[in-house]
């Protein structure tokens, strides 16, 4: 069942004759995503951790970059890379919240090809807090993900494994590129790497189901549900280009029936060339974003 094994960015859909750029106005796309700025989204965060709801903040940064297909890194000189150069949509997503006396910082990055008929080339996740830090990296190679996990916990240690499925963490990017290509029905997914670190479940592919629904005239929602790990993820977004992410929700049902709910609700968005805004006078931009 190759369609189930390799679908999300989304080879199954291409095999069914669905063009990943179908319905996309390329001029509109270029004017938005190739204007030399990043889209910065700030969210109020309610993060469930250690049996309690924690107030915090999340930031999603979307920007296009030139990427090496072979090395799977950002290119320093894309004009010299020839056919190895690929356009990707990069998402960096951070979460910051406090548990008691000590803070948590997480970062998730996904690099999804804009035009190639492939899954995200690379996904990374890090979690840092006062106990220690962990890092996970997925690289798309030869039809599967090569995963490396580094943890300070003895029971997890350092691992290398191969995962024959697609990644939940690519969902945000795929919605931004073209939500119509997200498949519905039963799929094989690698659950969120941040969820995996928080729950300490084995890093492996799980069966999941994907559904879509219209929320209003200009909003829609995609839901991913895993029966085996009692996890449900919903992402709400604008139905029209550029398909902005408005909120997301993660629901985890524990064995005792307790429900843990994490919610991110967008409060601000700005297009900025943030890499050029590193002077003291630019701190005003943080206040404008509500950071």
Residue 214 lies inside a defined structural domain of this protein: yes
Whether residue 148 lies inside any domain: the answer is yes
Closest CA to 178 of 19, 60, 1, 7: 19
**Residue carrying structure tokens 């580094």:** 150
**Amino acid 230: pLDDT:** 96
Is residue 252, in this structure, part of any structural domain at all? Answer: yes
Distances (CA, A) of 90 to 61, 62, 103, 227: 8, 6, 26, 29
Token reading at 20: 């990943």
Tracing tokens 């199954």 back to the chain, one arrives at 12
101 occurs within a structural domain: yes
pTM score above 0.85: yes
Token pair of 286, please?
A: 């943080």
Backbone dihedral angles phi then psi of residue 185, each to the nearest 5 degrees: 105, -160
Which of 133, 165, 164 has its CA nearest to residue 149?
Answer: 133
pLDDT of residue 23: 83
Residue 139, strand partner residues: 122, 146
Query: Residue 110: inside a domain, yes or no?
Result: yes
> Which pLDDT value is given to residue 105?
99
**Average pLDDT for runs of 10 along the chain of length 291:** 38 44 90 98 98 98 97 96 96 99 99 92 98 97 96 89 96 97 96 96 96 96 97 98 98 92 98 98 96 95
Name the residue range of residue 222's domain.
2-269
Q: What is the pLDDT of residue 257?
A: 87
User: In total, how many domains does the chain have?
Assistant: 1
DSSP 82: G
For residue 271, give the 3-state DSSP assignment: strand
Q: Within a domain: residue 289? A: no
Give the integer Cα–Cα distance in Å for 139 and 118: 12
| Distance separating alpha carbons of residues 119 and 167, to the nearest angstrom | 8
Is residue 286 domain-resident?
Answer: no
- 96 in a structural domain: yes
């Amino acid at each position: 069942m190759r369609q189930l094994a390799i679908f999300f960015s989304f080879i199954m859909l291409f095999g069914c004759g669905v063009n990943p750029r179908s319905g996309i106005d390329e001029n509109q796309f270029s004017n938005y995503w190739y204007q030399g700025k990043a889209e910065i989204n700030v969210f109020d965060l309610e993060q469930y951790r250690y049996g309690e709801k924690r107030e915090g903040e999340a930031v999603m940064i979307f920007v296009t970059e030139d990427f090496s297909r072979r090395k799977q890194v950002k290119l320093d000189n894309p004009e010299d890379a020839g056919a190895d150069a690929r356009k990707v949509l990069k998402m960096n997503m951070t979460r910051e919240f406090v548990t008691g006396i000590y803070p948590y910082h997480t970062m998730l990055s996904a690099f999804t090809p804009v035009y190639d008929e492939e899954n995200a080339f690379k996904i990374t996740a890090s979690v840092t807090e006062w106990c220690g830090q962990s890092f996970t990296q997925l690289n798309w190679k030869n039809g599967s993900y090569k995963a490396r996990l580094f943890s300070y916990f003895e029971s997890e240690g350092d691992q290398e494994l191969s995962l024959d499925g697609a990644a939940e963490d690519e969902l945000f990017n795929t919605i931004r590129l073209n939500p119509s290509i997200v498949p519905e029905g039963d799929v094989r997914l690698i659950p969120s790497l941040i969820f995996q670190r928080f729950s300490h479940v084995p890093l492996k592919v799980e069966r999941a189901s994907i559904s879509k629904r219209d929320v209003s005239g200009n909003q829609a929602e995609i839901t991913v549900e895993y029966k085996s790990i009692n996890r449900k993820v919903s992402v709400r977004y604008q139905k029209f280009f550029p398909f902005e992410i408005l909120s997301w929700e993660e629901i985890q049902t524990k064995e005792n029936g307790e429900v843990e709910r994490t919610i991110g609700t967008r409060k601000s968005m700005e297009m900025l060339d943030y890499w050029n805004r590193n002077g003291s006078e630019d701190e005003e931009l943080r206040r404008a974003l509500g950071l």
